Chains A and B, each alone.
Chain A
Amino acid sequence: MEAGFNRQTRDNSVSDLAIVDATPRAAEVDRRKVLGRMALFDFFFHNLTRAAAILVLLILGGVIFSLIYGSLPAIQAFGLGFLTTESWNPVTEKFGAVAPIYGTVVTSTIAMVIAVPLGLGIAIFLTELCPHALRRPIGVAIELLAGIPSIIYGIWGLFVLAPFLQQHVQPALISLTGDIPVLSSLFAGPPYGIGMLTAGFILAIMVLPFITSISRDVFDTVPPVLKEAASGVGCTTWEVMRYVVIPYTRVGVIGGVMLGLGRALGETMAVTFVIGNAHKVSSSLLAPGTTISATIANEFTEAVGDLYTSALIELGLILFVITFFVLAAARFMLMRIEQKSGA
């Protein structure tokens, strides 16, 4: 296609751009020369951009390959037992990933339980209820929340939120749930302030803007005619959302939630500050724990010995595989809603 297009312009002498002023014969030579140069440059540029695109693929390939390569010693030493062992002992070089994986799953779950309803509520507010003048400022403010670096959430969580939870919220939770069978073990033990609940809470604040802005965007893809029809037969605002907008955008909303989940799973610094870095699985949400990313951040530079380093890289590999599938699913769902709105 490309080459044919260039040859055609050259042969038919359509373009007169190259001619400044000369006799026809000299102009013909000049034009051929300039057009040849342009075609050569175009060929070069085309391949340069293609190479850049391929390089982006190679980066992802490189990430996966280097993580597998780095974790080979640990994979050979522990095999699948890595995924079922709880102990994490650098002295005897016995490593298991159960505690970090458990912590990652628990903190992300807490985050999603808080952030999903809240994010959807804010998105509904922004698309349906908000006065027009406020719509843009509030939207921008929520997006600024997304732009704050995670280390800021971390330092705030450590010095402001954790002491507050320790003094005011956690004692109340412990005494309130003390007599209820399941909840009492969830909220057992002394109020440390830092721990899985605090980490989950910080994560919720962090993923809230992602869920909000994506849900708002997919809510906006609903054709107004559908909403107007529902309102026309007498639906309340809530019924329009509940029975028209949310079913119509379900796939996109789930995609946005998964994207937020991907963020929560991989978030490092905010969690590292408030999780407490304790390698144990405890049923109480108030107890300190650890997550995959917090373990790597805390221990990597202090890790002595190849096996220790390798075990940490294997943790990174596990994290990457989990987030890869979550994010891939999220993108897949968001792509479907884009096609729907495009059609």
Chain B
Amino acid sequence: MSLYSSRRRTNALATTLCWTGTIFGLAWLVLILGALIYEGARGLTPAVFTEMTPPPGSSGGLLNAIAGSLVMTVIGVLLGTPLGMLAGTFMAEYGRYSKLATVVRFINDILLSAPSIVIGLFVYTVVVARVGHFSGIAGALALAVLVVPVVVRTTEDMLLLVPSPLREAAAALGLPRSHMLMRVAYRAAKSGIVTGVLLAVARVSGETAPLLFTSLNNQFWSTDLNAPVSSLPVVIFQFALSPYKDWQQLAWTGALLVTVAVLLLSITARALSSQGTQK
């Protein structure tokens, strides 16, 4: 009888700990988002979207940083997505059981979680050190390298979900694989692949480390991608560590903007993918 009650006690203790752990884990989300909204919303004025980043001790906005982030993210995604989709297609369709696909899958999974600062060093030695100066293009390239593994992974996973009878039906009509892919498989996997791209955008738009020594920073409006370009995360990093109150406030506001963008993207991606699976 005492054995039974001690087992019950252990069980009650363990379940209580699991409950507390979950509440503890969720509390961080609430605390972080709460602080972010509280501090960030205070500085949310129209000037944030219309003025350039200010010199120390004066007020200003984040316009050039927002624009720089958008441009580099778009270029990075445009470069990384086709490459990722093609590689994912090879792994799911042409070379599904080949040795190459197994190796690429393994390497891709490692790239997926490789430290992003190392990717920054890679682009620095390959591009920046060769060309001799920091540039927006180098930043976009670094982001593209981060986009590729995400897109490869989701493309492969989504194509593998396409039922084989669909493929066989297309093949029975005499279509070669490439036509089957274009007309059947990609269409069936469309929402999944779009989800993957959105997740890649979400991941990349908050990245700071690979931009620190590729695109560097620029205090002014710049449309020249061959020159240093400002980006939101790098500005947040620089301003938050500064001793000036104005800059710190802008850093909080920028952090709020980045978080809202990233969370919106991942929630959209989630909604899209659940819609796709219900169909």
Contacts and interface: CB of A to CB of B under 8 A. Distances in A.
Contacts of B233: 149, 151, 269
A237 interface: yes
Contacts of B26: 138, 141-142
Contacts of B213: 300-301
Given A56-B152, A121-B21, A327 B110 contact: yes
A238 B15 contact: yes
Contacts of A266: 113-118
A97 to B, nearest CB: 15
Interface in A46-74: 46, 48-57, 59-60, 62-63, 66-67, 69-70
Interface string B75-86: 000000001101
Interface stretch (A20-28, A85-93, A180-188, A315-323): A315-323
A contact patch SS: helix
Contacts of A150: 206, 208-209
B117 A50 contact: no
A238 B19 CA distance: 13
The 3 closest A-B pairs by CB, nearest first: A149-B206, A266-B115, A15-B174
Contact of A52 (B87, B149, B212): B87
B202 A147 contact: yes
B122 A63 contact: yes
Interface string B22-51: 101110110110011001000000000000
Q: Which of B32, B107, B118, B176 has the most CB of A within 10 A?
A: B118
Interface in B224-279: 233, 236-237, 240-241, 248, 251-252, 255, 258-259, 262-263, 266-267, 270
Interface size class of A (residues with CB under 8 A): 35 or more
A109 B14 CA distance: 24
A152 B115 CA distance: 17
Interface stretch (B57-65, B94-102, B189-197): B94-102
Contacts of A208: 25, 28
Contact of B32 (A50, A143, A152, A237): A152
Given A148-B32, A320-B114, A118 B21 contact: yes
Interface size class of B (residues with CB under 8 A): 35 or more
Contacts of B109: 327, 331
A313 B121 contact: yes
A143 to B, nearest CB: 8
Contacts of B119: 63
Given A59-B111, A63-B122, A151-B255, A156 B94 contact: no
B11 A269 contact: no
B70 interface: no
B107 A56 contact: yes
B108 interface: yes
Q: Which of A51, A125, A143 has the most CB of B within 10 A?
A: A125
B111 A152 contact: no
Interface string A117-130: 11001101110111
Contacts of A153: 32
B18 A121 contact: yes
A66 B125 contact: yes
A264 to B, nearest CB: 10
Q: Which of A38, A55, A56 has the most CB of B within 10 A?
A: A56
B236 A155 contact: yes
A324 B118 CA distance: 11
Contact of A122 (B21, B95, B176): B21
Contacts of B15: 129, 237-238
Given A263-B113, A266-B114, A320-B115, A158 B178 contact: no
A146 to B, nearest CB: 9
Given A148-B259, A149-B205, A208-B25, 12 more contacts: A35-B174, A56-B148, A124-B18, A129-B19, A142-B26, A151-B237, A152-B36, A153-B32, A155-B252, A236-B11, A269-B237, A320-B114
B101 A129 contact: no
Nearest to B33: A148
A6 B115 CA distance: 44
A200 interface: no
Interface in B167-222: 173-179, 181, 202-203, 205-209, 212-213, 216
Contacts of A117: 21
B21 A125 contact: yes
A239 B8 CA distance: 10
A140 B90 contact: no
A14 to B, nearest CB: 5
Interface in A286-329: 293, 296-297, 300-301, 313, 316, 319-320, 323-324, 327-328
A149 B216 contact: no
B252 to A, nearest CB: 7
Interface string A193-208: 0000000000001001
A41 to B, nearest CB: 5
A70 B104 contact: no
Contact of A297 (B22, B35, B212, B266): B212
A67 B125 contact: yes
